[in-house]
Structure 1
Amino acid sequence: MTGIVIVDDARDWPLAIPGVDVVTAWNYLTQELFTRLRGVRVYNLCRSFSYQSTGYYVSLLAHARGHKPLPDIATVQDLKLAESPSVLNDELDELIDKSLARLGSNEYVLNIYFGQSPTKRHERLARALFNFFPAPLLQAKFEWRGEEWKVEALSAVALGEVPASHHEFMYEAAREYFARRRSPTKRRDSTRYDLAILVNEHETEPPSNAKALKAFEKAAEDLGFSVDFLDKSDYGHVAEYDALFIRETTAVNHHTYRFARRAAREGLVVVDDPESILRCANKVYLAQLMERHRIPQPKTLLIHRGNVSYVGRELGFPCVLKQPDSQFSKGVIKVSSEAELKRECRELLERSDLIVAQSFEPTEYDWRIGVLDGQPLYACRYFMATDHWQVVKRDAAGKKSEGNHETLPIEEAPPQVVKVAVEAARAIGDGLYGVDLKQFGKLVKVIEVNDNPNIDVGVEDLVLKATLYKRVMEHFLKRLDVQTRTKP
């Protein structure tokens, strides 16, 4: 098996291609066979890619399992961003005008199947759109605006929406695509050393406090950077910089992700990079990724509507349920009975087709190891809040209280804790991460990996002080220097 076509219903894809199997999305997500496959290509033809739907999870977990999905999760998310048409208009004006010249209508719809168009004159445009947003089935809507054509909308096409007259062409395009490999598009390099730091002065729990932001600014300026602080209204200015450092809490359906994607597309050095945001933002993905890399974690189950009744038997009570995109201890729930489990699962599964359940393994504190570019940066102990099982405790009104913290030199942290943390971070990428772990003697387990870890004056910097901020800025400088040396 070299490829899998994923569909909602096996009858959706009647085409037989040697080496390519047709699998339903639900089987792919829930059967253990598919978690063990390696190096397989996954062609996601689900009817919906909406956030945390079945189609969304196919592309997300394909990556966690080491598969090669089309579309990948970054493309799925990009297609939902409001600015996607404007990005294309900026890049493809000339090609769009040439391809759509002499049309008698003010509107035009172009369907693209595996990078090809049924209309020969639009072949180059179809390929260009596919290169920007590589998804098997795309639809672009164009509108004539007095003097030029513009992309009005771009979206993935469901199999059921493909006109019957296009089926044979779509199948032939699929045959050709499956027969050859694709290489990623090349990104442009930056040449200037200007740093943008994205912040939100109204955020109640930002990843860096005001003093830490000033420390980052000073460290960057000492290394020769020009530094500007941006907020979400500055999206249109991202391309003016060489690097983007996101110091606002990140999320997938959020402007922070759009900033990261735009910056990456423009060739900026980005922390947090968009791939790290996607990967760390979803605990379902993290659970599968840790399993794939054999990194220890609490006993973990992926829960869907069909297996809720197994949770108590497999994990016992109490156990912990995690909303996939939970943050700051929100959306992480301890349940102590079968009735409570069913009630909480029912609510969580209304928002996501998959959730995470883990065995409850209490400790006095959690370790947090900061990792940058695959190397340990700082080590902290975060103690549990008073009379609570988490580091952060919130009352009914949302008021929070936190446990104490202790920062240690990396060399004084238990070697196994540091080793496992570095392994977990490297499984995500080479950016800046905060790895949360529990220690039971010599046994260490990963709780989660954060792409946007807290770095505050008076907490994480207590040991390294100014050196901590300098090392983060040196990471940007090193990568920018590499870009400059390799610039064609």
Structure 2
Amino acid sequence: MSGIVVVDQQGDWPVDIPGVDVVTAWDYLTQDSFTRLRGVRVYNLCRTFSYQTTGYYVSLLAGARGHKILPDITTVQDLKLAESPSVLNDEIEELIQQSLARLGSSEYILNVYFGDSPYIRHERLARALFNLFPAPLLQAKFVWRGNQWRVDTLNAVAMGEVPAAHHEFLYQTAREYFTRRRGPRRKRDSTRYDLAILVNEDEKEAPSNARALKLFEKAAEDLGFSVDFLDKSDYGHVAEYDALFIRETTAVNHHTYRFSRRGAREGLVVVDDPESILRCANKVYLAQLMDRHRIPQPKTMLVHRANVADVGREMGFPLVLKQPDSQFSKGVIKVESEADLKRETREFLERSDLIVAQRFEPTEYDWRIGVLDGQPLYACRYFMAPAHWQVVKRDKNGAKREGNHETLDVKDVPRQVLSVALQAARAIGSGLYGVDLKQFGSVVKVIEVNDNPNIDYGVEDLVLKDQIYRRIMEYFVRKLDEQTRAKEPQAR
């Protein structure tokens, strides 16, 4: 048995799906055999999720038992909040207007079954709603207000509220949903854990290239993982896994952070964890963190509207301005004069109330030390792009030129470089980081700490080869084994 459908009465779910058992809520809550089950997925189709009803307790106790439950208790609570519709982000708002554009009525009710809709035109909207509120059966009521559609209510619905005309579609959608993960990559009997790797096939500067992703998959499977690659549309499936590895460029106001946050909330081992994303994504935070821990960095100043006039005098020219959430050398510029400083800070401060200014300290190359769980993993030297002051040079059309790279054994890295890199990474957390540093003789300074560092086939893996992928997967195994031991009853 790999899945359980929980209903109020046995006849509420007449569909026979291989590997999926149908049990009543009362049996699930009261029979010891269900308490002892491990590694099972539970689909709560009770008629009500009201506080302290059997439906409510199914989701609550499934979480306590370590079962993968849909909907989880947090989703049940979120859907009860009166302000739930207000959390819909701009992407969903746009989908709402597109999906309902040609309707002539002033209100519309959309039923969503396991992330799908019986009507093709509403499929994308249904998936988006399910991703935000992962519940098997959802109902959204939309109303026309002023000149646009708005969500009036959004609720989990009971089996009895599903229109008879939708029953066959619901059953078919459920069959596809329940069997999807047992699809072409059938889980092996020896599998210890389930790993999801979040990727974006359309990303031009992804943190791992296609060959590296295949090597991650192989390393994970060799260690006993069942591996699935997910994309942003799979948010509703996060809770089905034991671990989540994000190999898509992360950002705070982005689905990668939502994936990470949900994974952590569900108890998955997550790389990158949400705290690391929040901390590494903001250079203002990093500057203050390095200062607090007395970790050397170039002379740094936090710039705001009231102190722009002091920046040139304090820092000297040239200097470097950084947008707090800049990535891939974007949003990082060199300023040569007071006139340039005033112009560029005006533009930067329109997007953020605080920005970072650092003294410009040129070097031939930047160090990148990969750190995993507080220990050095790999070391690279990234050389500046030809005739440029950064590793990557971009023209006005977005084309880029990169400098050369050199991968070294960590044993050959100067001791001071490793020491400062490890201090910086440990100030962030215990996950996977890439620490960028500059070296001036025996002086080493941190430029930034990156979550989600690049690990590409043919670059960062040149020294360790396949071992770099295996070591990262071993980290997941180690953390998952620790979780498993922590859940086991202690011998008296």
- What is the TM-score of this pair, normalised by structure 1? 0.63
SS of the counterpart of 1:398? coil
Alignment partner, residue 185 of structure 2: none
Pick closer, same or farther for the CA change 1:383–1:142 going to 2, 3 Å. Answer: same
Q: Distance in 2 between matches of 1:108 and 1:443?
A: 53
Residues 69-88 of structure 1 aligned to structure 2 (within 5 Å): none
Amino acid at match of 1:377: L
What residue ranges of structure 1 are gaps of 5+ in the alignment?
A: 1-85, 101-106, 110-140, 149-190
Aligned to 2:21: none
1:219-262 CA-to-partner distances (Å, cap 9, x unmatched) read 10110000000000000000000000000000000000000000
Is 1:200 aligned to residue 200 of structure 2?
Answer: yes
* 3-state secondary structure, aligned to 2:294: coil
Distance 2:332 2:154 in 1: 49
Corresponding residue for residue 361 of structure 1: 361
Number of the residue aligned with 1:222:
222
Q: CA deviation at 1:364?
A: 0.2
Q: Please list the CA deviations of residues 143-200 of structure 1 after superposition, one character each: whole Å capped at 9, or x if unmatched.
A: 596978xxxxxxxxxxxxxxxxxxxxxxxxxxxxxxxxxxxxxxxxxx9610000000
Structure 2 equivalent of residue 13 of structure 1 = none
* Paired residues of 1:108 and 1:143 also in contact (CA < 8 A): no
SS in 1 for 2:244: strand
Q: Provide the C-alpha distance between the structure 1 equivalents of 2:487 and 2:388, rounded to a whole number of angstroms.
A: 53
Task: Name the CA distance, whole Å, in 2 between partners of 1:108 and 1:393.
Answer: 46
Q: Which has the higher contact order (CA 8 A, sep 6+)?
A: 1
Instruction: Tell whether the 8 Å contact from 2:192 to 2:225 is kept in structure 1 after alignment.
Output: no
**Secondary structure, counterpart of 1:378 in structure 2:** strand
Calculate percent identity across the aligned residue pairs.
77
Give the whole-Å Cα distance in 2 for the aligned partners of 1:211 and 1:276: 26
Aligned-residue offset at 1:92: 3.0
Which residue does the alignment assign to 1:35? Answer: none
Alignment of structure 1 residues 288-327 onto 2, 5 Å: 288-327=288-327
Give the number of the structure whose alpha-carbon radius of gyration is greater: 2
Question: Does structure 2 retain, via aligned residues, the 8 Å contact 1:299–1:315?
Answer: yes
How far off is 1:91 after superposition?
3.6
- Deviation per residue, 1:196-226 (Å, 9 max, x gap): 0000000000000000001100110110000
1:271-282 correspondence to structure 2 within 5 Å: 271-282=271-282
Check conservation: 2:421, 2:446, Cα contact below 8 A. yes
1:164 aligned residue? none
C-alpha distance in structure 1 between counterparts of 2:375 and 2:155, whole Å: 52
* Contact residue 304 and residue 354 of structure 2 kept, 8 A: yes
Q: Which residue of 2 aligns with 1:92?
A: 77
Q: How many residues align?
A: 320
Measured in 2, the distance between the counterparts of 1:353 and 1:375 equals 35
Residues 294-353 of structure 1, C-alpha deviations (whole Å, 9 max, x = no match): 000000000000000111111100000000000000000100000000000000000000
| Correspondence for 2:348 | 348
Matched-pair contact (CA < 8 Å) for 1:192–1:242: no
User: CA, structure 1 residues 467+144, in 2 after alignment: closer, same or farther (shift >3 Å)?
Assistant: closer
In structure 1, C-alpha distance between the alignment counterparts of 2:455 and 2:154, rounded to whole Å: 49
Q: Distance in 1 between matches of 2:349 and 2:272?
A: 28
Q: Distance in 2 between matches of 1:209 and 1:145?
A: 40
Cα distance, 1:307–1:201 mapped onto 2, change above 3 Å: same
Q: What is the match of residue 379 of structure 1? A: 379
Distance 1:461 1:343, change over 3 A: same
**TM-score, normalised via structure 2 length:** 0.63
State the secondary structure of the residue aligned to 1:475. Answer: helix
1:401 corresponds in structure 2 to 401
Structure 2 Cα separation of the partners of residues 452 and 108 of structure 1: 33
In 1, Cα distance between the equivalents of 2:83 and 2:455?
A: 50
Secondary structure of the residue aligned to 2:252 is coil
Cα distance in 2 between the residues matched to 1:237 and 1:411: 41
Cα distance in 1, alignment partners of residues 382 and 230 from structure 2: 30
Q: Distance in 2 between matches of 1:452 and 1:485?
A: 28
3-state DSSP class of the match of 1:369? Answer: strand
RMSD: 2.2
Asked if 2 retains the 8 angstrom alpha-carbon contact of 1:108 and 1:142, the reply is no
When residues 88 and 404 of structure 1 are mapped into structure 2, their CA distance, relative to the original with a 3 A threshold, is: same
Q: CA offset at residue 90 of structure 1?
A: 2.6
In the TM superposition, what is the alpha-carbon distance from 1:287 to its structure 2 partner?
A: 0.1
Cα gap change, 1:145 to 1:236, in 2 (>3 Å):
closer
Contact 1:367–1:379 (Cα < 8 Å) also in 2 = yes
Q: Is the 8 A contact 1:263 1:270 kept in 2?
A: yes
Counterpart of 1:383, as a letter, is: F
2:263 is the counterpart of 1:263: yes
Separation in 1 of the partners of 2:312 and 2:83?
A: 55
Match of 1:452 in 2: 452
Deviations 1:93-148 (A, max 9, x none): 89x5xxx9xxxxxx799xxxxxxxxxxxxxxxxxxxxxxxxxxxxxxx99596978
> Cα 1:343–1:466, aligned 2, differ >3 Å: closer, same or farther?
same
Pair 1:144–1:369, CA change in 2 (3 A)? closer
| Counterpart-to-counterpart distance in 2, 1:427 and 1:207 | 22
Cα deviation 1:440-479 (Å, max 9, x = unaligned): 0000000000001000011000000001000000000000
Name the SS of the counterpart of 1:267 in structure 2. Answer: coil
Report if the CA contact (8 A) 1:192-1:241 is conserved.
no
- 1:429 matches 2:414: no
> 1:435 touches 1:450 (CA, 8 Å); kept in 2?
yes
* Structure 2: distance between partners of 1:146 and 1:258: 21
